[in-house]
Chain A
Amino acid sequence: MATRRLTRQEQLQQTIMYPVDWLEERSGLVGGLRYFLFRKVPGDINWFQTLGSATLTAFIVQALTGSILAMYYKPDPNSAYPSIQHITNDVWAGWLVRGMHRWGASVFIILMFMHMGRVFLFGAYKYPRELNWILGVLLLAMGLGEGFTGYLLPWDQTAYWATVVGININGTAPFLGPFIAQFLQGGTAINPDTLARFYAIHMLMIPGAIFALIGLHLYLVIRLGVTSPPWSKEAAGTGPSPNGRVTKTRRGLMRPGTRRNGR
């Protein structure tokens, strides 16, 4: 009996694991995921270090709600405003999706600034994480670009005139200014093509760049590891000397096993 049951269990296990093993053999993705999930992080990381993943979550909310809005929105000067009204007033939960996109943008931008503030105060941009700081600043610029281009899309008075002045201000930049303004407008003044252009920039160009930058940003986070808070006396990497190993009673870098047993 016992042997037979074991065999069945083994069979079941093999059936479940077969596609996983198949995928692993051909891509290495399973090992990659395992490495991502079970990689070690300092034991004394704290809540401020969740701001990065919170920013990512806000971006995912933007990507999802934005995709849904794109199913109803019409980037044409004659129908853009009615389509916004349609989304807000008629489409089932359209007001919710649009509201989430509208305010998710603010949350995304606040979180980017807070995450940047955390990295700055923790000194986490220092060697060897300089590149990741640069990627982060580029992401911030891209995020603000999303805010600027998305603001025009409802094609109402506020949107239109803020964008007219915004483009004109861009246009005052030395050397590049006129080219930037012309690129944004698709001409020498705001015209019917401008809206479609802002739409393309807002939902294809910049989001594509953001996805790529986030990918690199996360790759570097995983490769270089997470920093300990600077105020922690037990912070990883700040031990007294390379060979003077510290005792295991230190609080900050708790072994997972110890923690599970009762504390």
Chain B
Amino acid sequence: MASDRIVERRRVFQQYKEDVKERGKPFYPYAMWHDTIMSLVVVCVIIGLAIVWKYSTPGNHIGTEPGWLGKLYDAPADPGTINFVPRPDWYFYFLFYLLRIFKWPESVILGTIGLPTLFLVLLLAVPFYDLRAERRLGRRPVAIIAAILVVLSMGILTYKGATAKEALGSELKALVPKWAADEGYTGNKQAVAGANLFAVAGCANCHTYNGAGGQYPGAPNLTAEGAKNKGIAFQIAHLKCPACVNPGSPMPSFTGLGDARLKSLATFLEASKGKK
């Protein structure tokens, strides 16, 4: 059976070659003409995007104000920053948003590594499990459905990633008194200072706290972090080097905040025993 198929597909390819040789048209000028037009369109689109990027930037078209296509450049990199938004280029949004679907820490590795690797292997192997010679779309329902699902899910993930709002430090800061009241550390000045730091240092870009933040990626909910009673020393060590105490953690180091601030953050985390 299998060898029949091999004989048949060789025959079909042989016939293809004869058909094309006999009645095909030369690449130049026919196909090359279309290719040239298409390439010109591509170059024009690229130039057009570059122009829009530059000339939609407000003011005199320089600086860090975003235009229609985003900023020309952001503020300079600062490893010691206390406020940042980790956001990849748009074509990685689907991967980035995948992280939100999985729960930290048990299954987040599925989102970061598992699914993308699986998808890549499935993609590489397409010609080896789709062995039928049939190419007409109407007779390849599985392939069509798979294609639609892939496009749809990547599209939705990209859209979700693009529209995910970063929590603004100033908005979060207004929530701090409510947080303190909810979790009962209003009297603990250092914990409140830590909560303010938490609000502005970009933590809520990944983590959820008391129903706020948590737009990006698969990071744990910290509302009741203190209930785990890990201790202030652990929290500081973790903030300084997350992967050292929590192997496999993708969280960046916050050593740049300095010891005093880290102490406040740790106090705040330990005081967060969950909503009362």
Contact = CB atoms under 8 A, between A and B. Distances in A.
A127 interface: yes
Interface string B117-149: 100100110111010111111001001100100
Contact of B124 (A38, A137, A169, A190): A137
A127 B62 contact: no
Nearest to B206: A165
Contacts of A162: 86-89
Contacts of B54: 95-96, 99
A219 interface: no
Interface string A217-256: 0000000011110110000111100100000101001111
B164 interface: no
Contacts of B143: 120-121, 123
B31 to A, nearest CB: 5
Contacts of B45: 107
Interface stretch (A1-9, A19-27, A52-60, A208-216): A52-60
Interface stretch (B67-75, B173-181, B192-200): B67-75
Nearest to B144: A121
A125 B126 CA distance: 8
A37 B127 CA distance: 29
B228 interface: no
Interface of A: 36-43, 45, 47, 49-51, 53-54, 56-58, 61, 77, 81, 84-85, 88-89, 95-96, 98-100, 102-107, 109-111, 117, 120-130, 133-134, 137, 141, 144, 147-148, 151, 154-162, 164-166, 168-169, 171-174, 177, 189-190, 225-228, 230-231, 236-239, 242, 248, 250, 253-256, 259
User: Which 4 A-B pairs have CB atoms at the shortest separation, nearest pair first?
Assistant: A99-B50, A237-B16, A123-B135, A40-B24
17 contacts: A37-B27, A50-B34, A51-B38, A61-B43, A88-B72, A88-B73, A103-B46, A127-B9, A128-B13, A154-B74, A161-B85, A161-B86, A172-B248, A173-B113, A236-B23, A237-B19, A256-B30
